[in-house]
């Protein structure tokens, strides 16, 4: 195929879109691949659509290779199945809900566990039909709180979702492993540097789950790694609780005035000056900080939770959101303090907290707050703290919550060494769902003994449109996009650079030869200056460009490699054959 740039529906833009924070967003818009239609909602233009189709093709091939079969559900779905699993409510404001002319409730599918479960229930009834794996590549809708970075986090996006159906746990494990292998193959073919990390299952429920993250500084996910091979999304890191400590030698708690101690550091200085410990100085990690949040359940029910954690750490909002999902987390504002006078801002202590206390506020503590630990904390009176308050002796929290920030150098939970932190873009997520959906929707089959058993399921997603952005993110530079061969909208771009008719003629012939050899050729036949053509070629990001310029008179053309920036000369005579070899490697 030859595509003439003069006819191609594309306009490269000189300026960044005003809302572009990341490179992929900037370049996909400037290179004319995508166009914003509404916040988090994008149109695909010819170039973008070609790349999207290539990502889809990779995903399709790898899913077919593990024996998964393609189907396609509607995006517009009835309420009832989502009611049966409670996700109509649980999805909260993220779900696009709508109503038809008869008053029936519908939704735009954010993910399709319910529909797949019901489809299999409709048609299958025996263990002999299993295992089964089905997938679709389809448009999903989520009213994301923070759509961002163009198609990286859209409100409409393309996902490959697949589902496995097995008679028993061993079958599920095997299906899960097959998907894991397929995902590794997909990530490799996309050319992305990636990590597989433990994940939380969030609104999906179920147990084992892993995420595939493309390593990228601009990613929204933080993950940790240890030298010994532990890898987890920071949301899924669990801090092992230390053993309880002996508190027999610790005296009774004392209330002490602590004026002018607005920060943890000033508080530590003050208690070290006025009330020194006999064994060692007080440290920030000896202070028990109590942070209050409002939780809003998907049905709108609000509650207050106080989280107690060592004062040298903050609550990690994303870990908190993951821990309390599907509830939404809101900051506790001054007006909330005003409405809850038992909570003295800056001086909140365990004695005012707990479901059985006067405040009734749920009190959850960090796993490090084990029985016997000795704390400096708020005394529930302005300007006063309490020292030697011992967990398990002087206060008993309602439970444990593991949401403190994870820091560089913290020990890995499995003892495999210190953790290092990095950021990534979530590309895929694989879950062992288990029987949650099958139970809710009654998917049972007869086993080999003629007994009805509930099917066990897995659910697996790849962000197909997100992958276009993630690859652009990983590979673009200050001059534009830069596609790997497998995803590029064209194999080669031919750039006649000069007004000479011989150049145009040579370029035409070369384009025909390469096209005849099966390559997808973009021919820049525009009447534009060489400078404009070169700049556009770099913005568009086709991996190989052939410049047909002044050298033609001396019998040479130039080959430019977009990825390495290398330029080399080729004999004009027989250039097609040399290029065919080059493009095939």
Q: Least separation, in Å, of the C-beta of 330 and ligand ATP?
A: 19
Nearer to Mg ion by C-beta: 271 or 470? 470
Nearer to Mg ion by C-beta: 139 or 200? 200
Nearer to ligand ATP by C-beta: 59 or 427? 427
Nearer to ligand ATP by C-beta: 359 or 459? 459
Q: Which region, judged by CB under 6 A, interacts with ligand ATP, from 123-131, 321-329, 421-429, 449-457? A: 421-429
Nearest Cα to 3, choosing from 43, 50, 42, 44? Answer: 50
Q: Does 205 bind ligand ATP (CB under 6 A)?
A: no
Radius of gyration of the chain (CA): 30
Partners of 568 in the β-ladder: 559
| Residue in the shown chain whose Cβ atom is closest to Mg ion | 429
Q: Does 87 bind ligand ATP (CB under 6 A)?
A: no
Q: Does 298 bind ligand ATP (CB under 6 A)?
A: no
Q: Least separation, in Å, of the C-beta of 321 and Mg ion?
A: 13
Gap between the Cα atoms of 251 and 544, Å rounded:
76
Backbone angles phi, psi at 475, to 5 degrees: -115, -10
Gap between the Cα atoms of 572 and 551, Å rounded:
9
Gap between the Cα atoms of 373 and 243, Å rounded:
10
Token pair 């950021």 is at which residue? 423
| Residue in the shown chain whose Cβ atom is closest to ligand ATP | 463
Nearer to ligand ATP by C-beta: 318 or 550? 318
Q: Least separation, in Å, of the C-beta of 140 and ligand ATP?
A: 7
Q: Which region, judged by CB under 6 A, interacts with ligand ATP, from 126-134, 299-307, 427-435, 551-559? A: 427-435
Nearer to ligand ATP by C-beta: 162 or 290? 162
Q: Which of residues 138-157 bind ligand ATP (CB under 6 A)?
A: 142, 144, 153-154, 157
Q: Which region, judged by CB under 6 A, interacts with ligand ATP, from 256-264, 380-388, 441-449, 460-468? A: 460-468
Kind of pairing, strands 328-331 and 287-296? Answer: antiparallel
Residue of 413, 428, 434, 496 that binds ligand ATP (CB under 6 A)? 428
Whether 344 and 377 have beta carbons less than 8 Å apart is answered as: no
Q: Least separation, in Å, of the C-beta of 108 and ligand ATP?
A: 13
Nearer to ligand ATP by C-beta: 149 or 557? 149
Structure tokens at 569: 């000369």
Dihedral, CA of residue 276, residue 278, residue 279 and residue 282, to nearest 10 = -10
Q: Least separation, in Å, of the C-beta of 72 and ligand ATP?
A: 17
Q: Least separation, in Å, of the C-beta of 459 and Mg ion?
A: 10
- Using CB under 6 A as the binding criterion, the count of chain residues that bind ligand ATP stands at 16
Residue of 234, 309, 427, 547 that binds ligand ATP (CB under 6 A)? 427
Whether 378 and 385 have beta carbons less than 8 Å apart is answered as: yes
Residue of 30, 198, 429, 533 that binds ligand ATP (CB under 6 A)? 429
Q: Does 426 bind ligand ATP (CB under 6 A)?
A: yes
Structure tokens at 549: 């310029």
Whether 406 and 421 have beta carbons less than 8 Å apart is answered as: yes
Gap between the Cα atoms of 521 and 507, Å rounded:
11
Residue-by-residue DSSP string for 200-246: --GGG--S-EEEEEEE-TT-SEEEEE-TTS-EEEGGG--PPPPPP--
Q: What 8-state DSSP symbol labels residue 450?
A: S
- Binding mask 411-450 toward Mg ion (x if CB under 5 A, else -) reads ------------------x---------------------
Q: Which region, judged by CB under 6 A, interacts with ligand ATP, from 60-68, 372-380, 461-469, 521-529? A: 461-469
Gap between the Cα atoms of 272 and 280, Å rounded:
10
Q: What 8-state DSSP symbol labels residue 97?
A: E
Q: Does 136 bind ligand ATP (CB under 6 A)?
A: no
Residue 563 neighbours by CB under 8 Å, 6+ apart: 475, 482, 484, 543
Q: Which region, judged by CB under 6 A, interacts with ligand ATP, from 30-38, 367-375, 376-384, 462-470? A: 462-470
Give the largest Cα separation in the chain, rounded: 96
Point out which residues bind Mg ion (CB under 5 A): 429
Q: Which residues bind ligand ATP (CB under 6 A)?
A: 111, 142, 144, 153-154, 157, 159, 202, 426-429, 461, 463, 465-466
């Amino acid at each position: 195929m030859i595509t003439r740039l003069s006819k191609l529906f594309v306009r490269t833009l000189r300026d960044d879109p005003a809302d572009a924070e990341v490179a992929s967003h900037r370049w996909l818009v400037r290179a004319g691949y995508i166009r914003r239609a509404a916040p988090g909602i994008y149109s695909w233009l010819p170039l973008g659509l070609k790349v999207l189709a290539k990502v889809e093709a990779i995903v399709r091939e790898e899913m077919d290779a593990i024996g998964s079969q393609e189907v396609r559900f509607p995006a517009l779905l009835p309420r009832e199945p989502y009611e049966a699993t409670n996700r109509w409510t649980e999805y909260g404001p993220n779900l696009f809900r709508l109503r038809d002319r008869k008053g029936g409730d519908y939704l735009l599918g954010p993910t399709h566990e319910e529909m797949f479960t019901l489809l299999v229930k409709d048609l299958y009834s025996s263990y002999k039909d299993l295992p089964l794996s089905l997938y679709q590549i389809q448009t999903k809708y989520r009213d994301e709180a923070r759509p961002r970075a163009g198609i990286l986090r859209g409100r409409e996006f393309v996902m490959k979702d697949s589902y496995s159906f097995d008679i028993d746990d061993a079958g599920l494990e095997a299906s899960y492993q097959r998907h894991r292998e397929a995902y590794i193959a997909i990530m490799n073919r996309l050319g992305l540097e990636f990590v597989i990390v433990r994940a939380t299952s969030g609104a999906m429920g179920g147990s084992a789950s892993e995420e595939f993250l493309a390593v990228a500084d601009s990613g929204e996910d933080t993950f940790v790694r240890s030298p010994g091979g532990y890898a987890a999304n920071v949301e899924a890191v669990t801090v092992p609780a230390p053993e309880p400590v002996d508190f027999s030698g610790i005296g009774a708690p004392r209330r002490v005035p602590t004026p002018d101690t607005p920060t943890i550091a000033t508080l530590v200085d003050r208690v070290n000056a006025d009330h020194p410990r006999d064994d060692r100085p007080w440290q920030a990690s000896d202070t028990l900080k109590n942070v209050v949040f409002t939780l809003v359940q998907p049905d709108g029910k609000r509650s207050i939770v106080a989280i107690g954690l060592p004062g040298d750490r903050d609550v990690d909002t994303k870990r908190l959101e993951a821990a309390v999902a599907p509830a939404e987390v809101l900051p506790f504002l001054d007006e909330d303090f005003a409405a809850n006078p038992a909570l003295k801002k800056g001086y909140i202590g365990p004695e005012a907290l707990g479901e059985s206390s006067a405040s009734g506020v749920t009190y959850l503590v960090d796993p490090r707050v084990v029985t016997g630990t000795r704390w400096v904390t708020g005394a529930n009176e302005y300007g006063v703290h309490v020292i030697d308050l011992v967990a398990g002796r002087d206060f008993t929290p309602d439970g444990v919550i593991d949401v403190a920030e994870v820091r560089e150098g913290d020990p890995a939970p499995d003892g495999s060494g210190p953790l290092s932190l990095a950021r990534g873009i979530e590309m895929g997520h694989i879950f062992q769902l288990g029987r949650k959906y099958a139970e809710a929707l009654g998917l049972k089959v007869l086993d080999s003994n003629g007994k009805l058993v509930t099917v066990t399921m897995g659910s697996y997603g790849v962000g197909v449109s997100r992958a276009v952005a993630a690859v652009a993110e990983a590979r673009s530079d200050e001059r534009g996009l830069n596609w790997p061969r497998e995803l590029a909208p064209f194999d080669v771009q031919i750039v006649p650079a000069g007004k000479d008719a011989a150049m145009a003629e040579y370029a035409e012939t070369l384009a025909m030869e390469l096209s005849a050899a099966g390559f997808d050729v973009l021919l820049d036949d525009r009447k534009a200056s060489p400078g404009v053509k070169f700049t556009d070629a770099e913005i568009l990001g086709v991996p190989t460009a052939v410049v047909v310029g002044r050298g033609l008179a001396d019998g040479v053309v130039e080959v430019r490699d977009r990825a390495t920036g290398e330029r080399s000369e080729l004999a004009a005579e027989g250039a097609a054959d040399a290029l065919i070899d080059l493009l095939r490697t």
